[in-house]
Amino acid sequence: MKFAYYPGCSAKSTCAELNVALRKVAVALDLQLTELESATCTGAREIRAIDPVGFLTLNVRILALAERDGLPLMTVCNTCTLNLIDANAIFEEDKDLARQVNLRLAEEGLEYKGTTRVTHFLWVLFEDIGAERLRELVVNPLNGLSVAAFYGCHITRPPGKYGFIDSRNNQSLEQLSELLGCKPVDYTGRTECCGFHTAAHDERIAIKLTGQHIQSAKTNGAHAMVTPCPLCHTVLDSFQKEIEKDAGKKLDMPVLHLPQLVGLALGMSHEELRLDKHVVSTDALR
């Protein structure tokens, strides 16, 4: 299976281990990835809010790059995923704006026709690889590992995009964890917000919110947390020392990127999956 691969900014910088792990796991899953080398940032929440046309153009350009290669577009970041899905929808709905954007893209010989399928690695596991095939590939079932799924926001909300009347009903990560042999943990933080999008100017919101989620996961018996989003991972892992300070207690909660959890079940080592590159030690999972 071939995909145009869009890692996003985070997996190329502060969460570089995600990119490495994803590429290792992709080989094992027989996913052939063509990275969109000249792809820009999708604009996160910032450009999206203050420059809607710039936001749309950046995203449609990424969609057009994948379309040019004739490939579906796979991401590993919740916020990038929602941005690309939203841009695809705006492009479809507003024909005038779509024409304007294509005029801009024509400057570099690109044109978007609106055919790119946007997907996330989590969805690829179910839709393109399938539960049965995945189960066959698991050589190291993670028996005894209680894992708390942390969805984040942009892969389960807004309701208009994903169809959940109550986003807490999302079960994809729990179903996946079970498939890999883990025991999913039920806790209050599952589909809550990590606060990443305000962290660059004021990290107190992220520290307070995510502190509640990690404590809830721990209270309910989680040995580790897993997230499909590098932005959530940054707060859960890289901010955990500050979170511990704010909460006044040790948490020591290892946080895995989704491909890392899959990779462990496929028999890969901690080093191969760059688990040693996290701020919170993952040694307890060995």
Partner 1 sequence: MNVQVDARSIGKAENFDGLLARNTRLNPGDPVRIRVRRFDADRPDQSGFESFVVPYDASMRVLDALNYIAEHFATDLAYRWLCGSKMCGTCAIRMNGREVLACWESVEPDMTIEPLRNLPVIRDLVVDRAPYEARVAKFEPWLERSTDYAGFPEPLSHKDMKNASKALDCISCMSCFSACPVVGLGNLTDFAGPAPLVQLAQTALDVRNDPAKVASALEHAGIFNCVSCYKCEEVCPAKIPIVTRIIEPLKAKTAELVPHAARHSMVFRAIVASRGRIDPSELVLRVQGAKVLLQVGRALRLLLRGKINPLKTLFGKNRGAADAASRILDQ
State yes or no: residue 283 binds partner 1 (CB under 8 A): no
Contact between 79 and 42 (Cβ < 8 Å)? yes
Does 61 interact with partner 1 (rule: CB under 8 A)? yes
Q: Work out how close the CB of 32 gets to partner 1 at its nearest, in angstroms, rounded to a whole number.
A: 15
When the beta carbons of 133 and 249 are compared against partner 1, the nearer one is 133
Mark the segment that binds partner 1 (CB under 8 A) among 52-60, 140-148, 247-255, 262-270: 52-60
Of 97 and 140, the one with the shorter C-beta distance to partner 1 is 97
32-35: strand order across its sheet: 32-35, 2-6, 73-75, 118-120
Burial class of residue 107 in the structure, from the number of CB atoms within 10 Å of its CB (0-12 exposed, 13-18 middle, 19+ buried): exposed
Instruction: Kindly state the smallest distance separating residue 123's Cβ from partner 1, in Å.
Output: 4
Q: By CB under 8 A, what part of segment 30-49 binds partner 1?
A: 37-41, 43-49
User: What is the 8-class DSSP label of residue 160?
Assistant: H
Choice from 2, 13, 135, 140 touching partner 1 (CB under 8 A): 13
In this structure, are strands 32-35 and 73-75 parallel, antiparallel, or unpaired?
unpaired
Q: Would you call 248 exposed, middle or buried from its count of C-beta atoms within 10 A (0-12, 13-18, 19+)?
A: exposed
Site for partner 1 in 237-276 (CB under 8 A): 238-239, 241-242
Q: How far is the CB of 141 from partner 1 (least distance, A)?
A: 21
What residues numbered 134-173 form the site for partner 1, per CB under 8 A?
A: 153-154, 157-172
Instruction: Name residues contacting partner 1, limited to 78-137 (CB under 8 A).
Output: 86, 104, 107-108, 122-132
Q: What are phi and psi of 99, to 5 degrees?
A: -65, -45
Q: Which of 25, 193, 229, 264 binds partner 1 (CB under 8 A)?
A: 193
Amino acid at 218: K
Using CB under 8 A, which residues numbered 198 to 217 contact partner 1? 198, 200-202, 204-205, 208-209
Q: CA-based Rg of the chain, rounded to a whole angstrom?
A: 19
Are 139 and 111 contacting, i.e. CB atoms less than 8 angstroms apart?
Answer: no
With CA atoms as reference, report the closest residue to 24 among 260, 265, 286, 282: 260
